[in-house]
Structure 1
């Protein structure tokens, strides 16, 4: 460490901060120290550091499922962000024994803290988190017990709904996500708010479970719609197929807008207008908030903007 400090022209404490992934280092200084580490072949020994500091430089991820595209994208984003800070990642799913068992498994692995993802956040709010386990929750109402990082779901939904109304549709129907999901509730709230601003009574929404199959089956409850805002892109894919099955053209007969902007959204037929979630930024901010908490910082609440991406599925009425 002394050799690295001398080569980089900094103190040993600064080298320690860089090695431990502390955010309290100027970017230019961090780059200079990392170059010196690379030149000298310096590597931290995780087990030795854990014995000395009582921290393992391992964080956990608690998730209810990885079957949805959004959760898989968040896993990738958090994994990359953790690696950039030289933290390992341990992933646990909430099984039949509940979230307390998931927390127990993480504690047995010696993690320094954990990110709780999407549908698992409701379980985390209802349970009492372990006092010695720092938590960051992705998508949650305010809670003083942990940090919160979330997408502006309601803002994105308002923009999507306003876009469809501006195209000339009298109203916008909604294919909502599952009851109990914070993200689904926020997207439904944004849809309703946009209709209120336009002086339009909200139609009764249909509801799916985030899967393409549920989107396909829900279209039967939206047969009078000329515009549909769908709570995620996977359900929108199922809706597009169902509309094609019954001979309704998109966008000529029905305009469709999704949410997430998954990788293949531009390859749908027609290419899907959707609200883009910035999963990379969500992952980075969640990891930064967690490491800040691990180092003694105060809980934070951050919201990441969502952006409407207009494609062919939402052409004018």
Structure 2
């Protein structure tokens, strides 16, 4: 550090401020220090910094599975948001809900400064004892005084999907819901019910999947045989399975049945037909979760709630019902 200071013509304290990304450094001075660091090959020593500051600049990510498209997309988004703030990421998967205390302990042993819990893992977190001092942000959870929450406006997105289908002239909208223990699935189902109720329409029985396209294909024949003309699926993967099952039954989309998904995954525009869906902003969700966690770590700001809005993306899988 002394060598860097000498080459840059600044004090050791200024070099320290640059290394720790302090805003109290003039941009031109920062550029000289960074150039000197590059010339000497200087790199901060994370372990030594942790001993001095009591922080490792590492955050934990607690997730039940990375097999779903939504969770894998959130992993990438959280990793990007953390890296932008100079934080590394440690991932722990939760095999069964009862392991949540053990998962927290593993993260503590790895010295994380705080934890983001995702989606299906949040139910286990809500039921677990949260250790004092644990900095925690939970994605997709009801408000809780013990931790900050960040969630997509799932119910609002579901209402957008149903209102779109009703506006096209469909009498009612069937629903392929996600797992019963998922908060996101429950919120999307609530939005579907509320929209139908507000319009004075009958509410069909719920068909339930597990987020996979296979589960969507399994319930698709039931939709085809029921005579449904409009279907709202709780995610795009299940919608893909529904599209396949309807085609296998000779029901053309959107001529015979209109289908809407949720998430707007990268491939949804390439489905056949291109899928009308509710866009969930994974990048914004991860950014707000990491931002809240970093504020808790660095400024002691605890609690709070963020709600990330959704939007309807209309493509070729929805149309007016056949007369």
TM over 0.5: yes
Aligned to 1:231: 234
1:46–1:56 contact (8 Å) kept in structure 2? yes
Structure 1 77/270 Cα, relative in aligned 2: closer, same or farther at 3 Å? same
Deviation by residue 1:251-290 (Cα, 9 ceiling, x = unmatched): 0000000000001000000000001111111111111100
| Change in CA separation of 1:10 and 1:152 when aligned onto 2, cut-off 3 Å | farther
- Describe the SS at the equivalent of 2:86: coil
Counterpart contact for 1:20–1:86, Cα < 8 Å: no
Aligned equivalent of 1:183: 184
Which is worse superposed, 39-48 or 96-105?
A: 39-48
The 5 Å alignment of 1:13-28 reads 16=17, 19-20=19-20, 25=23
What is the deviation of 1:43? Answer: 3.6
Distance in 2 between residues matched to 1:228 and 1:277, nearest whole Å: 19
Q: Distance in 2 between matches of 1:175 and 1:280?
A: 25
SS in 2 for 1:60: strand
- Structure 2 equivalent of residue 310 of structure 1: 314
The SS at the match of 2:74 is helix
2 CA distance for matches of 1:201 and 1:308? Answer: 23
Instruction: Sort the Cα spacing of 1:10 and 1:174 in 2 relative to 1 into closer, same or farther, 3 A.
Output: farther
Secondary structure in 1 matching 2:180: coil
TM-score by length of 1: 0.91
In the aligned structure 2, how far is the partner of 1:229 from the partner of 1:10?
Answer: 62
User: Which residues of 2 match residues 27-176 of structure 1 at below 5 A?
Assistant: 35-41=31-37, 43-96=43-96, 98-176=99-177
Runs of 5+ consecutive residues of structure 2 not aligned to the other structure: none
- How many residues in Structure 1 have an aligned counterpart in Structure 2? 312
Question: What is the TM-score of this pair, normalised by structure 2?
Answer: 0.90
If you compute each CA radius of gyration, which structure gives the higher value, 1 or 2? Answer: 2
Which stretch of structure 1 is more off in the superposition, 286-295 or 31-40?
Answer: 31-40
Q: 1:30, 1:114 → 2: CA distance?
A: 33
Q: In the alignment, is the contact (CA less than 8 A) between 1:15 and 1:33 conserved in 2?
A: no
Deviation at 1:218, TM superposition (A): 1.1
Root-mean-square deviation over aligned CA pairs = 2.5
State the Cα distance separating 1:197 from its structure 2 match: 1.5
Q: 1:10 to 1:290 in 2, by over 3 A?
A: farther
The unaligned stretches of length 5 or more in structure 1 are none
